[in-house]
Structure 1
Amino acid sequence: MTGRSDAIGPEPTRQRLARQIRGAQAYQDGLSAEEAVCSACIKAGWSILLKRARTRRGEIDIVMRKGSLICFVEVKKRKTLRGATECLTIAQQRRLYRAAECLLAAYPHWSYEELRFDLIAVDEQNALYWVRDIIRQM
């Protein structure tokens, strides 16, 4: 071993700690955004069926109902609303669709006439922007 600082090995402690702090903050920001979205949806007359619904195919942030419509919601928080609305990838859309299939199989008593996938964007000032029907067909 030469003692060179650029040798392959464990990440320096300070960098690892900084990354962990950023990750913990992002996680808390996500939880806060999801709670803000739930509150806004409840005020708009929606019933929350599930939050952070995990399946073997992925997680859906919020599942909610209004009348005969069940809506699967992905919450994205970024610095700007535009950044949040543009960050849902095709792979994430597929994951949401497949996770929804798992949830519908797991909850056969849910009755509905319509299903929808929405994205609710949250910016750093906690403003919300609702994009309805973001996934049409897979």
Structure 2
Amino acid sequence: MAGRMLSQHAAGVHRIAYTCSTKQKMVTNAKRARGVEAYQNGLAAEDIVCQKLRGAGWNVLLQRARTRRGEIDIVAQNGTTISFIEVKLRKTLRDAAESLSATQSRRLFRAAECLLQSNPHWQYEELRFDLFILDANSKMEWLKDVIRQM
């Protein structure tokens, strides 16, 4: 059962502290191991995508770029085009393609804005969001310009 407590701190500031009487769920070792494996597989997929990009003439500007608004897996440039790239690895290509939610798309857009502000030296004429999807059989597809501002 959740409840609220009003507490008073120095200078008369009041804060509401939320309490919860439910117990935290324990994470099993098997679940933790699956999470570590998924994380490692994701990093490997990003490395594969970076190799593919470099082979296609792209310059990888950033990998795993974190901002206060979110993270972008890869930022790459080819000529005057900068692409913000999300990498999705799932059992099937269809599952990977469907795993990019509208909420995540908005977060990626906001993260890209932060990166552009913090890197004013980047020269570009076109910005786009690409999605690389990979499956368990090492198949890969490059979906270009998949996110538009809403």
The structure with the greater share of residues assigned to strand is 2
Residue 11 (structure 1) shift: 4.5
Distance 1:121 1:9 in 2: 38
Pairing partner for 1:50 from 62, 65, 71:
62
Which residue number corresponds to residue 41 of structure 2?
29
Tell which has more relative contact order, 1 or 2 (C-alpha 8 A, sep 6+). Answer: 1
Write out aligned runs for 1:1-138 (5 A): 9=23, 11=25, 16-138=28-150
User: Are the aligned partners of 1:33 and 1:126 in contact in 2 as well (CA < 8 Å)?
Assistant: no
Q: 1:10: how far off?
A: 5.6
Q: Distance in 2 between matches of 1:79 and 1:41?
A: 22
Residue of structure 2 equivalent to 1:3: none
**Structure 1 moving runs of 4+ over 4 Å:** 8-12
TM-score (norm 1): 0.89
Question: 2:24 and 2:56 mapped to 1: Cα distance?
Answer: 49
| Cα distance change of structure 1 residues 58 and 10 upon mapping to structure 2, 3 Å threshold | closer
- Which structure has the larger Rg? 2
Give the superposition deviation at 1:127.
1.4
Say which SS state the counterpart of residue 65 (structure 1) adopts: strand
Unaligned runs of 5+ in 2: 1-21
Partner of 2:12: none
* 1:58-103: CA deviation from partner (whole Å, max 9, x where unpaired): 0000000000000000000000111101110000000000000000
Residues 19-59 of structure 1: CA deviation (Å, up to 9, x unaligned): 10000000001001000000011001100000000000000
Same amino acid, percent of matched pairs: 56
Report the RMSD for the aligned CA atoms in angstroms. 1.2
Supply the distance in 1 between the matched residues of 2:99 and 2:25 (Cα, whole angstroms): 29
Structure 1, unpaired ranges of 5+: 1-7
Classify the secondary structure of the residue corresponding to 2:28: helix
Distance 1:101 1:11 in 2: 37
